[in-house]
Amino acid sequence: MKIPLSYNIRNLWARRLTTALTVSGIALVVFVFAAVLMLSQGIEDTMVATGSRDNVIIIRKSSQSEMMSAVSRDQVGIISTFSEIQSTNEGKAFATADVVTLINLHKKGSNDMGNVSVRGISTGAFALRPQVQLSEGRWFQPGSYEIVVGNKIHDQFNAIEIGQSVQIGSKLWTIVGVIDGGKTGFASEIWSDADIIMNEFNRGTTFSSYTFKLKNEQDFEALKTKMETEQRLQDLEPKREQEFYLEQSKFMAGFINGLGIFITIIFSFGAMIGAMITMYASVANRTVEIGTLRALGFRRRSILMAFLLEALALSSIGGIIGLILASFMEFVSFSTTNFGTFSELAFGFSLSASVIGWTVFFFLIMGIFGGFLPAVRAARMNIINALRAS
């Protein structure tokens, strides 16, 4: 015989105070767990959105970031002739040769300094990166000491307004516009003319990277083979832009996941112990009731399942509350240092299907572990001894 589900719900309602306390503890743990996963997912989403699937970035082999890379102007000239690269209406390669460096700026509301990426770009970058739009002011004039700043830099750092100046190298550069990078890493950058940046930092004819659009996504392998057979390009390697930026997030996302999950596991033991205590108390208070159920013909496994379902109900209620609370974190964004580039990266929390799936799995496991031993104790009760407890 199976015990009806209404029996479990009635018993949870009868112990409202202990149920509420246990649910609150589980909700807090689940909130932390979900928030950690959302934070890691937010970093990956930001970096993936920065790149495009049909764009290819060329960097020096073994370079972990663009700042560690070097691509000569001669090499850019060779690659730009490859037939796999899409051309503009003027017959030029649909591409940009970029120079990336770092500067320090003061953050708003504190005396802290933050590293900010300065990206020198070619004119082709505007069309190559349609996810970046001008939101205020105008674009910088090529060949001038003018810059446009990402909206996240504009929001989080001091003295970053149109018309103000920023020290880059030995010169003061005038801010002439603000760009909206959406949910991409470009929102955390400053853009200017590549040739002027190269001259200012004495880079000669060396860029950090060369990015271009493929005619067809399937041409990537052919392009890679062509580069491998060209002796003058042996120190370079092509990567799909989206995959390159995803790699930039791996270390940081992994660190946040590792630290956050370690803390969550510690908290979860407390929540599971709380659930276990609640269930043990429930078993102790219902000894006669359990004996009566056994005398009426309910089997041990029915008793086991009834108490296990109560524990799962407790964890599910707390888990759903924790997940709902965590979902509001999507409205929160902040910046921190990207360990891959050592520059400020602004990102937010991101709730995805995988985050929801792992969170549901987590709170169900908490319920099973927290309720299993009390459920076993209830199922193993001797009928006569249980009835005598009255």
Task: Write the pLDDT tens digit of every residue in 88-112.
Answer: 777 778 889 999 988 888 888 777 7
Q: What is the pTM of this model?
A: 0.72
The pLDDT score that the predictor gives to residue 148 is 93
Nearest-CA neighbor of 1 among 305, 350, 228, 369? 305
Residue 120 falls inside a structural domain: yes
Partnered with residue 253 across adjacent β-strands are none
Residue 241 falls inside a structural domain: no
Rounded-to-integer distance, Cα 190 and Cα 174, Å: 11
Burial class, 84, CB count within 10 angstroms (exposed 0-12 / middle 13-18 / buried 19+)? buried
Residue 55 falls inside a structural domain: no
Separation in Å, CA 252 to CA 117, 139, 312: 17, 32, 34
Nearest-CA neighbor of 96 among 122, 75, 74? 122
pLDDT digits over 45-85, tens only?
A: 776 667 777 889 999 998 878 888 999 999 999 998 898 88
The pLDDT score that the predictor gives to residue 14 is 66
The pLDDT score that the predictor gives to residue 288 is 64
Residue 34 scores a pLDDT above 80: yes
pLDDT: which is higher, 235 or 264? 235
Separation in Å, CA 37 to CA 267, 336, 359: 16, 17, 9
Q: Given 202, 234, 266, which residue is the final one in a domain? A: 234
One domain for residues 222 and 258? no
The pLDDT score that the predictor gives to residue 374 is 76
One domain for residues 158 and 198? yes
Q: Given 234, 269, 284, which residue is the final one in a domain? A: 234
What's the angle, vertex CA 117, arms to CA 111 and CA 118, rounded to 5? 115
pLDDT digits over 355-382, tens only?
A: 899 899 988 888 888 777 777 777 677 6
Rounded-to-integer distance, Cα 266 and Cα 270, Å: 7
Domain of 376 in residue numbering reads as 5-48+248-388
One domain for residues 85 and 224? yes
One domain for residues 38 and 67? no
Partnered with residue 60 across adjacent β-strands are 236
Note whether 1 and 299 are within 8 A (CB): yes
